[in-house]
């Protein structure tokens, strides 16, 4: 009994309970929607997702027990290992559906790009922690190179969605480290002008004979389909059109749990993974959509609160970055489901089916709990 009490005390002190309460609500909601998306059966996707949640929670608890200073020592080795694996993917990767993103390790396949979502912000946070109080322009340049290398390797696979998330996680570390907003204004203006030019010249740029430098044909088609899904309603535009119909048909209150016609009649593609928000919105409507956004907002607010109260520069930068990574997941996924962003294959945190993404989210939340726990210990 004494040993059990010590174990329970260890578990209780390792977890940040406000964050844990939000995560449990997300898990309950995610499993509820997954049951409906899996056509009301407890087999396959639903049971698999339940196991994925347990693995993610275990990973979160283990990471929460690791002191931030020890995480900092793991940053550079994790980054180096990730880069080596990404290079190995380029030469000996497994190709599936036209993309080479996996490595076979005998009994299973791994996707090295996933680990870079954590390894990159850890390494950049370690770098700026070492230069705390004396950050120079040169340091931002070095950090940019550390970020560009894995993003470039991931883009070569090609995997635009993961490259976007890795870039976002690393960029937020650089920004939180003191990058002046004035330096970003020219980049923002260039992006606005570029997007405006693409929209204005859509008919010419989206012609089959026009190649877009730096992008594969399927990536060009995704952007052109975003601008006008009806140009290929049964092909490239099918995903966007059907998901928008599902979201819109939910109305204010939704059609009711397990009564969504778009999902249960298989009009929504990838309805258990990338487009599960369409299933949710059709059944729970606008009010349900707002509720899940409020839940994600609470999660992000808690993460930023932990970041502000962190005891070290490393803890502040890392916890702030992984929190904003969750924001990117939510923003990009809901943006592509509602037709305001191109389809890039980014899952919705704690709702989309998939063990790898859930494991990454578990590690991210474990980092937040570690930073919070050892801040309290230091206090």
Element (H, E) at 103: strand 99-104
Question: Within a domain: residue 172?
Answer: no
Question: Within a domain: residue 345?
Answer: yes
Helices (H), the chain: 2-14, 17-37, 45-64, 68-92, 112-130, 137-155, 160-176, 181-200, 202-205, 217-227, 238-249, 261-264, 276-308, 313-337, 355-378
31 within 8 A of 280, measured Cβ to Cβ: no
pLDDT of residue 161: 82
Question: Within a domain: residue 304?
Answer: yes
Q: How far apart are CA 159 and CA 142, in angstroms?
A: 24
Question: Within a domain: residue 74?
Answer: no
pLDDT in tens, the chain (379 residues): 666 666 566 667 667 889 999 999 998 998 888 888 877 555 577 888 888 899 999 999 899 988 999 999 999 999 999 999 999 888 887 777 667 787 877 666 778 888 899 999 999 999 999 888 778 888 899 999 999 999 999 988 878 888 888 999 999 999 998 887 777 788 778 878 877 777 767 777 777 777 777 666 766 777 776 666 666 666 666 777 888 888 888 888 888 888 887 777 777 777 788 888 888 888 898 898 899 999 999 999 999 999 998 889 999 999 999 999 999 999 998 988 888 888 777 888 988 887 788 898 999 999 999 999 877 555 4
Question: Within a domain: residue 161?
Answer: no
Both tokens of 24, joined, read 């449990």
Neighbours of 280 (CB within 10 A): 30
282 within 8 A of 250, measured Cβ to Cβ: yes
Angle between the N-to-C axes of helices 313-337 and 276-308, in degrees from 0 to 180, rounded to the nearest 10: 160
pLDDT of residue 230: 64
pLDDT of residue 128: 93
pLDDT of residue 376: 58
pTM reported for the whole predicted model:
0.87
Q: How far apart are CA 308 and CA 375, in angstroms?
A: 11
Domain count, the chain: 1
Question: Within a domain: residue 130?
Answer: no
Domain that holds residue 258: 18-65+233-379
365 within 8 A of 308, measured Cβ to Cβ: no
pLDDT of residue 235: 64
- How many degrees, rounded to 5, is the angle at CA 222 between CA 217 and CA 226? 145
Question: Within a domain: residue 104?
Answer: no
Question: Within a domain: residue 349?
Answer: yes
């Amino acid at each position: 009994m004494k040993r059990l009490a010590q174990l329970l005390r260890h578990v209780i002190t390792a977890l940040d309970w406000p964050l844990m309460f939000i995560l449990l609500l997300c898990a309950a909601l995610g499993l509820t929607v997954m049951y409906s998306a899996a056509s009301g059966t407890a087999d396959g996707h639903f049971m698999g997702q339940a196991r994925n949640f347990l693995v993610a929670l275990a990973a979160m608890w283990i990471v929460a027990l690791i002191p931030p200073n020890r995480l900092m020592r793991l940053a550079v080795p994790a980054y180096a290992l990730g880069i080596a694996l990404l290079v190995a993917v380029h030469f000996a990767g497994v190709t599936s559906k036209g993309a080479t993103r996996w490595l076979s390790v005998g009994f299973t396949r791994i996707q090295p790009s996933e680990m870079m979502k954590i390894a990159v912000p850890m390494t950049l946070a370690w770098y700026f922690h070492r230069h705390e109080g004396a950050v120079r322009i040169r340091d931002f340049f070095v950090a940019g190179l550390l970020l560009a290398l894995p993003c470039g390797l991931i883009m070569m696979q090609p995997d635009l969605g993961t490259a976007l998330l890795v870039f976002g996680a690393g960029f937020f570390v650089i920004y939180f480290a003191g990058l002046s907003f004035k330096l970003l204004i020219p980049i923002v203006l260039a992006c606005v002008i570029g997007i405006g030019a693409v929209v204005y010249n859509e008919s010419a740029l989206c012609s089959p004979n026009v190649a877009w430098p730096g992008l594969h044909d399927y990536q060009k088609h995704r952007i052109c389909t975003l601008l006008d899904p009806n140009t290929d309603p049964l092909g490239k535009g099918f995903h966007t059109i059907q998901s928008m119909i599902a979201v819109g048909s939910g109305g204010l209150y939704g059609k009711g749990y397990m009564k969504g016609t778009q999902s249960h009649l298989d009009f929504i593609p990838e309805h258990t993974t990338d487009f599960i928000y369409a299933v949710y919105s059709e059944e729970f409507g606008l009010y349900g959509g707002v509720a899940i956004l409020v839940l994600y907002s609470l999660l992000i607010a808690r993460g930023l609160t932990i970041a502000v109260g962190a005891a070290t520069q490393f803890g502040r930068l890392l916890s702030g970055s992984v929190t904003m990574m969750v924001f990117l997941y939510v923003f990009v996924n809901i943006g592509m489901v509602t037709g305001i962003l191109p389809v890039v294959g980014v899952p919705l945190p704690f709702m989309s089916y998939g063990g790898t993404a859930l494991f990454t989210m578990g590690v991210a939340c474990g980092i937040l709990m570690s930073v919070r726990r050892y801040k309290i210990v230091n206090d």
